[in-house]
Amino acid sequence: MVEQVGDFYCLSKVLFIILTSFFEWFVQSWFCYRNPPQSHADWMKLLQQQQRLHEAEMSKWQDLLGASIVMVDQVHLLGASIFMVDQVHLLGASIVMVDQVHLLGASIVMVDQVHLLGASIVMVDQVHLLGASIVMVDQVHLLGASIVMVDQVHLVHFLVDSYSERIKLYAFP
C-alpha cells in the first residue's frame, strides 16, 4: 500500500509539472499569435522571454529528476533492499540474463542464484573489470516494473539534454 502511494505521488507530481509547463507555453504562444512582434526590439524581447521560460522549465525538470532519484534511492520494497553477489531478491517475476563476464586481473565475480519476485527485467550483458578491483553493488531499489540504472547521473543528464533539444525545436523552428 505504501509503495502505491509513493508511486501515485511521484506520478502526480510529474503530471502536475508537465501540465503547468504546457499552460505557461500555451499562454505565451496564444499571445504571440494574437499580437505578433513587429520590430526587432519586440523580437529580442520575445526571444529573451522564451529563454527565461526555457531556463525555468529546465530547472523544474532538474528538480523533478533529482527528487525522483532521491525517492528511488529511499524506497525499500518489502525488505528487498540488498543486492548480494550470491542472491538477488527483488519483487516480481522477472527475467535475469547474464551473458558474459570478462575479467582482466585478479577479480572474481560469482552469481550463484538470482531470485526475482516482481515484474522487472534485469539484464547484465557484460562486466569488464580491469586490474584487481572488486565490483560491489550494495542496494538496488526498484519501483514497480522500472529498471534502475546504477549510473543515474548520466541518465539525468541524458533526459535533461534531450528535453532541452526538444524545447529548442519547438521554441525556435
Hey, where are the domains in the chain? 1-75+150-173, 79-142
Asked whether 135 and 127 are in contact (CB, 8 A), the reply is yes
Q: What is the pLDDT of residues 108-152, one digit of tens each?
A: 433 333 344 433 344 333 343 333 333 333 333 333 333 443 344
| pTM listed for this prediction | 0.28
SS3 173: coil
7: cell is 508511486
Angle between helical axes of 2-34 and 40-74 (0-180°, round to 10): 180
Q: What is the pLDDT of residues 34-85, one digit of tens each?
A: 667 788 898 898 889 889 999 999 999 898 888 887 777 666 554 444 544 4
Angstrom distances, CA of residue 31 to CA of 18, 37, 123: 20, 10, 49
Q: What is the pLDDT of residue 145?
A: 35
* Count of beta carbons in the 10 Å neighbourhood of residue 91: 18
Interatomic CA distance for residues 169 and 163, integer angstroms: 10
Q: What is the pLDDT of residue 59?
A: 92
